[in-house]
């Protein structure tokens, strides 16, 4: 009887050991995510940076810039080209801001642009469900509409480029679907208003926002 108990205990221990041993895979056994499809919304705001002249002298600024709510929505596809991801997308940007002069006069701008972002991503898997990601990007923007509260026919930049960075994380919902949350910064290289009569300095936009969306990985 004692021998039967010992043999049963050894069999049970061996079975438990077999269940807890790690299982190893070769690269060919691991499923590779080749392409990601993303849909996103990006609320934020815009600030300005005053451009210096050729001698590096900052001009006198006689107005106050008024940041207002901006937004962007879009779709993008990212391709896994180890060790980087490369992506391209299309979306629309809504840009709103204003100016207030020393006299108290205020005017606002409401603009809408097509956005075509190009980006490269560094993705670190913290676990099976969570990633940490950094995406440097450049975005081409083409004007759809531009409205000025005081000017009937404002002169504006019909296209401009921005460059920036997206940093954040994804959390897996299912095997293929993830939630994406990132902080976004984009710096513009063009003044949105061209030919302004009330200032002779360059006003470059700086966009800050939060991007949230869903990703399908195939």
pLDDT at 63: 87
* Mean pLDDT in residue range 193-207: 82
pTM strictly above 0.95: no
Confidence of residue 52 (pLDDT cuts 50, 70, 90): low
* Mean pLDDT in residue range 51-78: 86
Predicted confidence (pLDDT) at residue 2 exceeds the cutoff of 60: no
Residue with tokens 């913290």: 126
Cα–Cα distance, 24 to 34 (Å, whole number)? 22
Strand pairing class (177-188; 159-172): antiparallel
* Pick from 40, 39, 36: nearest CA to 210: 40
- DSSP designation for 134: E
| Residue 74 vs residue 18, higher pLDDT | 74
pLDDT at 68: 96
Question: Which DSSP helix (H) or strand (E) runs through 39?
Answer: strand 35-51
Query: Domain containing 160 — which CATH number?
Result: 2.40.160.20
Asked whether the beta carbons of 71 and 60 are under 8 A apart, the reply is no
Q: Would 24 be classed as within a structural domain?
A: no
Q: Would 63 be classed as within a structural domain?
A: yes
* Mean pLDDT in residue range 142-170: 93
Predicted confidence (pLDDT) at residue 30 exceeds the cutoff of 80: no
Asked whether the beta carbons of 43 and 71 are under 8 A apart, the reply is yes
Cα–Cα distance, 39 to 212 (Å, whole number)? 9
* Pick from 125, 162, 123, 110: nearest CA to 141: 162
Q: Would 27 be classed as within a structural domain?
A: no
Q: Would 21 be classed as within a structural domain?
A: no
Mean pLDDT is lowest, of 62-71, 167-176, 186-195, for 186-195
Strand pairing class (35-51; 69-81): antiparallel
Predicted confidence (pLDDT) at residue 26 exceeds the cutoff of 70: no
Instruction: Write out the residue range of the structural domain in which residue 160 sits.
Output: 32-217
* Mean pLDDT in residue range 21-31: 49
* Mean pLDDT in residue range 6-26: 49
| Residue 62 vs residue 46, higher pLDDT | 46
Q: Would 72 be classed as within a structural domain?
A: yes
pLDDT at 25: 45
* Mean pLDDT in residue range 87-104: 94
Q: Would 38 be classed as within a structural domain?
A: yes
Cα–Cα distance, 83 to 81 (Å, whole number)? 6
Q: Would 6 be classed as within a structural domain?
A: no
Q: Would 10 be classed as within a structural domain?
A: no
How many domains does the chain contain in total? 1
* Mean pLDDT in residue range 17-33: 51
């Amino acid at each position: 009887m004692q021998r039967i108990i010992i043999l049963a205990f050894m069999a049970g221990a061996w079975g438990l050991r077999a269940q807890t041993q790690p299982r190893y895979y070769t690269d060919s056994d691991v499923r590779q995510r080749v392409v990601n499809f993303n849909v996103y919304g990006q609320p934020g705001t815009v600030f300005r940076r005053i451009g210096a002249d050729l001698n590096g002298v900052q001009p006198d600024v006689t107005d106050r810039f008024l940041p207002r709510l901006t937004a962007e929505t879009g779709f993008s596809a990212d391709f896994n080209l180890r060790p980087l991801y490369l992506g391209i997308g299309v979306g629309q940007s809504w840009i709103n801001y204003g100016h207030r002069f020393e006299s108290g006069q205020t005017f606002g701008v409401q603009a809408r642009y097509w956005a075509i972002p190009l980006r490269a991503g560094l993705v670190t898997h913290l676990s099976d469900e969570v990633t940490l990601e950094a995406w440097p990007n450049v975005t081409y923007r083409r004007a759809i509409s531009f409205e000025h509260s005081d000017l009937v026919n404002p002169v504006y930049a019909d296209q401009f480029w921005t460059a920036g960075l997206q940093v954040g994380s994804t959390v897996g919902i299912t095997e293929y679907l993830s939630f994406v949350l990132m902080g976004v910064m984009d710096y513009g290289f063009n003044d949105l208003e061209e030919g302004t009569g009330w200032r002779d300095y360059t006003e470059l936009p700086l966009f800050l926002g939060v991007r949230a969306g869903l990703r399908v990985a195939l």
